Structure 1
Amino acid sequence: MIEGKRYTLQCDIQGVSPVQLLTVNWYKGEYLVPKAHFTEIEISPSRNDTETPYSCEAELGLQKSIKVRSNPLKITVLYKPIITEKVIQRVPLFHGYPVVLSCVAIGYPEPTITWIFNNEISEVENLTVKEETGEYTCVAVNPLGNDTKVVTVVMEEDYLPLIAGFVAVVVVIISVIFILIYSIYYKNTKMGHYTVEGAKPNAQNGNIAQNGKDGTIPMKKILV
């Protein structure tokens, strides 16, 4: 059966008497089908009805009811392809970084997937694009129809090397500033202060007043 079309199922019942006491029920799986037209029923199957059993049940309303159900009828539903995966309509491409275009479809019979670019056909679900930009068309086909999706591949600039270079320069500048600040701090705090005591004055230094009883001159702390 083909999805969406209408079909009539008929239940043949023989050797029943009295016929006026006969009731016919239709079942889809184990569910009673409402509004069935006695021995016939109209259905419009969907793809989800594949392998779903239909059956009819004859019930004779005597003092003790008699019920007989037919063997189940399993149907196979054919339907045209539908591309199920959400295809991105615009895909960026960077130099040296290929992209993979994916196209997945369902249908019965199982559809054939092809990609079309510049009149060239590739029968693959996943197409690798390295450099060529433009419109790529995915086509899913089976005997009942087809479905298509278009993807536009555009070349983009790769800013990652520029960003990496900028970050490296900033790190170098920060490192140099840190080294300079540390060097100045170390020179001012770690070299220390020195005190020279008990040194005799040089006679050539001119007039120097003596301080202290032993004739020595206490020297001030000299910053080196």
Structure 2
Amino acid sequence: MTTKGGCSRLRRSQHKKQLQQTYFDGDFITISIRLTQSTPNNLDAECLVISPARLVVKYGDPASSNCSSDTPVEMGWEATQGGVGLTDNKVKILNWKVDSVTDWKIKPTCFTDGGQCQKELNITVYKLPDSVSISYRKYPDPMVEGHQYLLQCLVQNIAPIGRLRVTFYKVSTTGEQTELDTQQKSKDNINTPENGTYTLDFTPGRDDDGAQLLCSAMLDLGPEGPQPPPVMDSNRLNTNVHYKPQITSPGCFSMSITEGDTLSLNCSANGNPAPSYDWLLPQADPNTMEERSVVTITNMAKSHSGEYTCIAINPLGNSTCTVNVEVTVDYLPIFAGLAAAVVVILLVISCFTYSSYYKHRRMGHYQLKDVLPRRHKNKHVVQHNRMDQSFM
């Protein structure tokens, strides 16, 4: 409780005058006047020490501090809560204590008799926010790559708002958290609870599809405050970002394929919404089969050489990629066939030559004139045999 007398003594200025007269044989009078004046409202006087010099107190919690002097003096505490009147006796230490701090602008001040010396306690009363929320200023349905959107973080009923730091974060689909921006408003003169609104312009890219956005409120009250500083996170916003297709396969390149082989090209692209596909081919062919993103050609011929262009399309745009295909002839089988034919021809010629030579060498020893006498002798023998048989 603060007494009126204590308050009046705190603000009272005292002037003391002392008149001293000296007479010298009546010739003349010397008058000297000494003036002393106490300095009012001396908040930084070294005659008093407050410990702790700074307090950080949560609203509704107790608080206390000591005021001390090197020499015993009459002292008191002036405060809206826990005030102590000027002591009757001289003391070196006087305690200020409150069971529950409920005054946002409380400024306890320790003073001595007549206000010759006084010291103010540096005290901060704080309150954590009731809630922290994040939203879009205008809800996007859906978000589009490259467009700008305004995020809004609302921190409700916090004090002191000048010590509040708000940070916007993005959390990727892999769980990696990235800081987007940190903001702090200069409102050091506001001690009572306030609502704080913080905004951020956000331009999403295709990599942000499926990510989450949030904001975090941290009340940084310095080394005397709670450690680590209290932090409250908001809800999370799921992002659905639409973007035009970008072909990832097969890629734009040139290739060679052997005549008679099968060509198969599979086109795929990243896009939201999911893209549809189309192929531009060098020519129509009955061997060509197209199934969505895949084109297949069997028994490739030289006429199939050319550019094969895939087109991926969604409502936001399209992406194209061209594969240059060259059909080549494999001469190895031809050479192998020719070599085999040559071998066959050589074998035929060899067989014919050998056959002709064999007939000439072997069949030339048998003459008709050599055969007939032998047949005659044989006949004579036969007849002789017959005659022999007749005499039996």
TM-score range, shorter chain: 0.5 to 0.7
Q: Is the 8 A contact 1:28 1:52 kept in 2?
A: yes
Q: 1:167 to 1:98 in 2, by over 3 A?
A: same
Alignment equivalent of 2:296, drawn from 124, 128, 131: 128
Per-residue deviation at 1:155? Answer: 4.2
Pick from 249, 268, 271: which aligns with 1:104? 268
**Partner amino acid for 2:214?**
S
Whichever residue aligns with residue 157 of structure 2, its letter is G
Paired residues of 2:262 and 2:296 also in contact (CA < 8 A): yes
Provide the residue aligned with 1:13 in structure 2.
155
User: Is 1:36 aligned with 2:182?
Assistant: yes
Aligned match of 1:25: 167
- AA of the residue aligned to 2:155: I
**What's the C-alpha RMSD, in Å, of the aligned pairs?**
3.3
Q: CA deviation at 1:92?
A: 3.9
TM-score (norm 2): 0.38
**Take 1:139 and 1:32, find their aligned partners in 2: how far apart are those partners?**
35
| Higher alpha-carbon deviation: 107-116 or 43-52 | 43-52
Q: Measure the CA separation in 2 of the matches of 1:32 and 1:22.
A: 20
Higher RCO (Cα < 8 Å, 6 or more apart): 1
Mapped pair 1:164 → 2:336: yes
Q: Note closer, same or farther for the CA distance 1:145–1:37 as it changes in structure 2 (3 Å cut).
A: farther
TM-score (norm 1): 0.62
Shift of 1:53: 2.0
**In structure 2, how many angstroms separate the alpha carbons of the residues matched to 1:37 and 1:137?**
49
For residue 15 of structure 1, what is the amino acid of its counterpart? Answer: N
- Name the amino acid aligned to 2:169: Y
Letter in 1 for 2:239: I
Q: What is the aligned partner in structure 2 of residue 140 from structure 1? A: 312
Mapped partners of 1:69, 1:100: distance in 2: 52
Q: Separation in 1 of the partners of 2:212 and 2:245? A: 24
Query: How many correspondences in the alignment?
Result: 173
Q: Which consecutive residues of structure 1, in runs of 5 or more, have no partner in the other structure?
A: 177-224
Q: Determine if contact 1:87/1:102 at 8 Å carries over to the other structure.
A: no
Aligned mates of 1:44, 1:92 — CA distance in 2? 45
The answer on whether the counterparts of 1:101 and 1:129 sit within 8 Å (CA) in structure 2 is no
**1:75-86 matches, cutoff 5 A:** 75-85=239-249, 86=251
> Alpha carbons of 1:61 and 1:92: their partners in 2 closer, same or farther (altered >3 Å)?
closer
Q: 1:155 to 1:27 in 2, by over 3 A?
A: closer
> Which has the larger displacement, 159-168 or 79-88?
159-168
1:146 to partner: Cα distance: 0.6
TM-aligned CA deviation for residue 90 of structure 1: 4.7
C-alpha displacement at 1:83, in angstroms? Answer: 1.2
Structure with higher strand content = 2
Structure 2 stretches lacking a partner, 5+ long: 1-142, 185-197, 348-392
State the identity %. 37
CA spacing shift, 1:112–1:91, aligned 2, 3 Å:
farther
State which of 146, 154, 173 in structure 2 corresponds to 1:4. 146
Q: 1:68 to 1:118 in 2, by over 3 A?
A: same
8 A contact 1:113–1:123 mirrored in 2: no
